[in-house]
Amino acid sequence: MHNKFSTDLIPGEICYLEYYEPKNEKGKGIIEISKVIYGYIDILNYQETEILKKSMNEEILLSGSCNRNVNCPEGDEFCREKYSVSRIIVGGHLCTGSLINNVRQDYTPYYLTANHCLVGDTDVWLFQFGYMYESCNGGWPLPTYSYSGADIRANWANSDFALLELQEQPQSGENNFPDVFLNGWDRTENIPDNLIALHHPNGDYMKINTDDDDLTIWSNHWLVRNWNTGTTEPGSSGSSLYNQDQRVIGQLHGQLPLNIDPFHEPCDPEKESIYGMISRSWLGGGTSATSLSPWLDPDNTGVETLDGIKMPLLKYGWIITNGQSFQRNAYSQMRIGSSNISQFTVQNGGNLTLKAGKEIVIRPCTAILSGSVFRAHIEELDCSELVMLSDKESDYDASICSSQNPPMAKQVSNTKYNFYSQTNIKIQPNPFSEDTRISISLSNSDIITLTIYDILGNQIATLADGESLSAGNHNFSFSGQNINSGVYYVVMSSSTERISRPLMLIK
């Protein structure tokens, strides 16, 4: 152990360091702060003026306007690979990289990035996974998962590769990164039919580039002349280039021509991206410290291509066929989604019921096909807590927060899942700075209570107390002038439902 640790990015002007000392270790602890890095560029979108401009369908651009979010349709086939990618915070620098598989497939957390990113002490590098928007048009950022520290295994300047091994083993699990994936690779020099790049340009949320033109080989590098969508920028360095088989063939070195200012006109069509080739890095400089082969094929099998693999700690791969019925229960949280074995699929005629006490999350790569029966039910739910039904909540008709069994779901299509809910709640704006509007849509007349709680469950305001409302839309106003910034919850109770929504106040 090197006894070093780096924190995640901390927004704001003040941070507090808390140290817990066991009673039998009194006086033994020593904390030394070796470096404080102050960010002068707001890569967290933390500034109030920018956050208040943000709506659910509008993103704040840190990178070039030609870039596309990874959760756009172009990324549908890369719903596993995007969970291999992280933003790297290297002192005052930013890079990108991704986890990569080895022939033994033993889940060693090897990590591929660029040699020129090797700045400072890798023991305190921070690897931030899952830094992406929930939808193509922006919306809310998804939860991120950070790991601190890595060891250098090999690097070679000629193809600008660096292979690291994370000092923390990423974990798939309820309170950890849910879909840890290690990329496959292709060390042949076969020209791909299509190209995909996943990266964090200028430290922005994860973006996806596409290209269907032939590659050119240029001095140990792949040369991408013109992207069909997207571009590369500072911060993209070290990001992986994928072929049509979703295997990594290189990592980003930089851009050509070299005389173009990388910070000017990021979407300039004259820019060309160059990627160090896996094929040239394989033997590299001829030693274990300068080549990929001793690490990615330690038994010298000679394999030229390898598929990616998902961490196996949560098994999600079910296929429910015609006539089969399954019920899955979880006391607190239920998560379903992709697997390295097979994706989750409810086929025509299949019957699936999910029940959870607190949370149901449906991960990407899930397929609930037309003609199947799908039910999701939250039991004994405390609606003062945030309920997430899916990472892509906009794909769903409504969320479930019901104290009663919902009726059978209507027939399901491939693109829209119809969850039953009598009531729809919208909050605009959210986040808000002074006042916001809460809209409730009722399918039938009902008696409702509408209450605001803080994060500790304290009642802040009551907007409706047993009011009899007709079917249709009803609007309520809430002012945050007399309360502090923070996360609050809007809770609506009726004769059949109890629904909670998060509310963020930023002054």
pLDDT, residue 119, reads 87
| Residue pLDDT, tens place only, 324-353 | 776 665 545 566 654 333 456 777 888 777
Q: Which residues contact 280 (CB under 8 A, 6 or more apart)?
A: 158, 159, 220, 221
Sign of CA dihedral 279, 285, 290, 294: positive
pLDDT, residue 363, reads 61
**295 φ/ψ sector (left φ>0, alpha ψ -120 to 50, else beta):** alpha
Cβ contact 474:440 at 8 Å: yes
| Residue pLDDT, tens place only, 348-386 | 888 777 766 556 666 656 677 777 777 777 654 333 333
pLDDT, residue 59, reads 44
Q: How many CB atoms lie within 10 A of CB 46?
A: 14
The one-letter amino acid code at 5 reads: F
Secondary structure class of 104 (helix, strand, coil): coil
Q: How many CB atoms lie within 10 A of CB 341?
A: 13
Which residue among the candidates 135, 148, 159, 160 is catalytic per the annotation?
160
For residue 96, CA distances in Å to 46, 204, 321 come to 21, 11, 40
pTM greater than 0.75 (yes/no)? no
Secondary structure class of 281 (helix, strand, coil): helix
List own/partner pairs for 379-384 with CB under 8 A and 24 or more apart: 379/355, 381/357, 381/498, 382/358, 383/489, 383/491, 383/493, 383/498, 383/499, 383/500, 384/453, 384/457, 384/489, 384/491, 384/500
Residue extents of the structural domains in the chain: 1-309, 315-416, 424-505
Active site residue 116: yes
Q: What is the largest CA-CA distance in the chain?
A: 78
Please give the CATH topology (third level) of the domain spanning 424-505: Immunoglobulin-like (2.60.40)
pLDDT, residue 379, reads 56
pLDDT, residue 361, reads 66
Rg (CA), the chain: 25
Which residue among the candidates 6, 86, 98, 116 is catalytic per the annotation?
116
Dig out the tokens for 118 from the structure: 């090797």
pLDDT, residue 404, reads 31
Burial class (CB in 10 A: 0-12, 13-18, 19+), 259: exposed
Dig out the tokens for 30 from the structure: 């020593």
Eight-state DSSP code of residue 183: B
**331 φ/ψ sector (left φ>0, alpha ψ -120 to 50, else beta):** alpha
Cβ contact 153:164 at 8 Å: yes
pLDDT, residue 340, reads 38
pLDDT, residue 409, reads 33
Question: How many alpha carbons fall within 13 Å on the CB side of residue 104?
Answer: 13
Active site residue 384: no
Cβ contact 67:201 at 8 Å: yes
Eight-state DSSP code of residue 197: E
Eight-state DSSP code of residue 202: G
Helix (H) or strand (E) holding 423: strand 423-428
Q: Which residues contact 229 (CB under 8 A, 6 or more apart)?
A: 66, 68, 74, 208, 209, 210
pLDDT, residue 316, reads 44
Same fold, 1-309 and 424-505: no
Which residue among the candidates 63, 84, 148, 237 is catalytic per the annotation?
237
What are the start-end ranges of the E strands in 257-357?
Answer: 272-277, 305-306, 309-310, 319-320, 325-330, 333-336, 345-346, 351-356
Residues of the chain with pLDDT under 50: 46-60, 174-176, 313-316, 331, 338-342, 380-422
| 3-state DSSP helix/strand/coil % of the chain, to nearest 5 | 5, 40, 55
CATH number attached to the domain at 1-309: 2.40.10.10
pLDDT, residue 493, reads 81
